[in-house]
């Protein structure tokens, strides 16, 4: 399974979603994964490097890739149960290559006019990609939403605009919360810093909805490479994953 977190607008929380999705799938859903950082700013790579130095946290594999990465992604997909791609907030060769092989594309947008103005170009990207990748499932998610009651109308209007382009818009969304910045600075995820908090529940809802699954267990069963996962669990054995360099 290949999941792309991308879009045309910077600052919408793509890296935040990619980082938390990686922890959710590896730690809570117990899938072997690789994170591919295609953003020249290397936000996710730096975050993973920081967390991997903390022995109390589960290590996450990460590589940086740029340019024509289609074949590399397909190769990685043969070694891991999930590939998470964090692309920067701009059209790029890497973004188009990722769209050509991804199973899911999660496209975060803030409920702001300047974010919604990117929809036309994003629609062109998705439409062109589906000519080569007809199985691509794309979904928009509204992020960094204001929590004040008088701002609900703005959120609903943004949702309507996205739906008017014929795309799936997730019911789950994220609100403006300090914990998103706090967890990144601490080198961990929201799910680890406050696993039962509101932000953690927001993220789980988004990820489950994106993958059409009810919970972590359903994701584990659906996306494990084989039934061996359940056999290992039944007989008390464990699984380990090596980095690409070790394979």
Give dist(CA 186, CA 227) in Å, integer: 36
The total number of structural domains that make up the chain: 1
- CATH number assigned to the domain comprising residue 7: 3.40.50.300
> What is the pTM assigned to this prediction?
0.87
In a domain, 247, yes or no: no
Residue 66 burial (C-beta neighbours within 10 Å; 0-12, 13-18, 19+): middle
Residue 178: other Cβ atoms inside 10 A: 8
In a domain, 124, yes or no: yes
- Give the pLDDT of residue 195: 95
- Give the pLDDT of residue 245: 36
- Give the pLDDT of residue 236: 47
- Give the pLDDT of residue 89: 65
3-state helix, strand, coil in the chain (%, to 5): 50, 15, 40
- Give the pLDDT of residue 187: 86
Place of tokens 């908090």: 197
Are 191 and 28 in contact by the 8 Å Cβ rule? The answer is yes
Where the chain has pLDDT below 70, the residues are 89, 226-247
By residue count, the chain amounts to 247
Are 161 and 111 in contact by the 8 Å Cβ rule? The answer is no
In a domain, 246, yes or no: no
- Give the pLDDT of residue 235: 43
The residue segments making up the domain with residue 73 are 2-238
In a domain, 186, yes or no: yes
In a domain, 244, yes or no: no
């Amino acid at each position: 399974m290949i999941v792309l977190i991308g879009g045309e607008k910077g600052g919408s929380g793509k890296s935040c979603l990619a980082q938390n999705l990686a922890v959710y799938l590896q730690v809570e859903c117990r899938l072997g994964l690789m994170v591919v950082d295609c953003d020249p700013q290397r936000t996710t790579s730096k975050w993973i490097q920081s967390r991997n130095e903390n022995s109390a946290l589960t290590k996450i594999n990460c590589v940086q890739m740029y340019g024509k990465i289609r074949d590399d992604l397909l190769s990685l997909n043969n070694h891991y149960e999930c590939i998470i791609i964090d692309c920067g907030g701009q059209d790029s060769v890497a973004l188009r290559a990722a769209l050509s092989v991804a199973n899911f594309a999660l496209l975060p947008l803030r409920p702001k006019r300047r974010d919604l103005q990117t929809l036309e170009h994003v629609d062109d990207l998705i439409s062109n990609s589906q000519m080569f990748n007809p199985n691509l499932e794309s979904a928009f998610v509204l992020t960094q939403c204001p929590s004040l009651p008088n701002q609900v109308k703005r959120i609903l209007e943004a949702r309507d605009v996205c739906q008017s382009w014929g795309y799936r818009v997730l019911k789950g969304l994220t609100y403006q919360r300090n914990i998103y910045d706090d967890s990144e600075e601490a080198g961990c995820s929201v799910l680890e810093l406050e696993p039962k908090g509101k932000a953690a529940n927001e993220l789980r809802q988004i990820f489950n909805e994106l993958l059409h699954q009810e919970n972590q267990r359903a994701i584990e069963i659906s996306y494990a490479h084989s039934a061996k996962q359940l056999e290992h669990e039944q007989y008390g054995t464990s699984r380990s994953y090596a980095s690409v360099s070790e394979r």
